[in-house]
Amino acid sequence: MPIVLALASAVVYGVADWFGGRASRAQASVVVAAVGQAVSLVLVVAGVFIMGTSAPGASTWWWGGAGGIVGALGIAGLYHGFANGDVTVVAPVSAVVGTVVPVAVGFALGERPSWVAWVGIAVAAVAIALVSGALGTHAHNTPPRIVVLAVGVGVCFGLLFVALDRTDHDSGLWPLVAARLASVPMLLLLAGAWGARPQRHRSSLQIAVVAGVFDMAANVLYLEAVRRGMLSIVAVVSSLYPASTVALAFTIDKERIGKWQGVGLVGAAVALGLVSVSR
């Protein structure tokens, strides 16, 4: 079940990122992130009250808030990268970096996945690197500064995965409430400091709302997955989100997928299979 939930979160994360990137073509990325997260805050607060879960302790509030801040920075950076580079490069680069942090933390905390899982993790890392064009030959129009940004985004996402894992496992959706209560004001302050304002482009704002809904759904799925499985495995599976982002970029945006990227997508499927059968 943890693997299924993690895979579902990866698919939904990828869809959310694609929508966010589309919206960022007409709106500032920080505006897109703020709109999406504000909408998701309303949704998760409603979910908490419907579920009736008791408010958690201070530790969950702290970890949830910290995760919300780094996650929001990661999302804003990712959307900016999508608007100024190739989706087929930015998403996978952020993902391959994002796997390193939770795997290292999980190992430091005493998690010891089986050798099959380690093989799957290694294959996943190589697969993501192939899809990104970090390995093999791939012609793209992504400036080096955007690739560097994607690395920073990956660090943010890795820290988000760790932070959500550290929250109380019986706290329901409260960690996501804490995350949004921290991230929304921060994004609004950043937007104000940078002079970013919503543009009169209704469709892009609507797409930002859709991105926020999908992002919250993905966070819920990840939270449930990491509560039932190892951080080092669940985070790797969730980091396969570039597969759905790249698939949408290929089919809808008509971005080209090179030979090595295709090999990487196959490798991602193999990695998922290896991790799924591991214990």
Residue 131 has pLDDT above 70, yes or no: no
Assign 173 a pLDDT band (cuts: 50, 70, 90).
very high
State which residues form the domain around 244.
2-277
Over 90: is that where the pLDDT of 67 sits?
Answer: yes
Would you call 230 exposed, middle or buried from its count of C-beta atoms within 10 A (0-12, 13-18, 19+)?
buried
Taking the C-alpha atoms of residue 21 and residue 214, their distance in angstroms, rounded to an integer, is 13
138 three-state secondary structure: coil
Q: How many domains does the chain have?
A: 1
**132, pLDDT greater than 60:** no
pLDDT band of residue 66 (cuts 50, 70, 90) is very high
Statement: the pTM of the whole predicted model exceeds 0.85: no
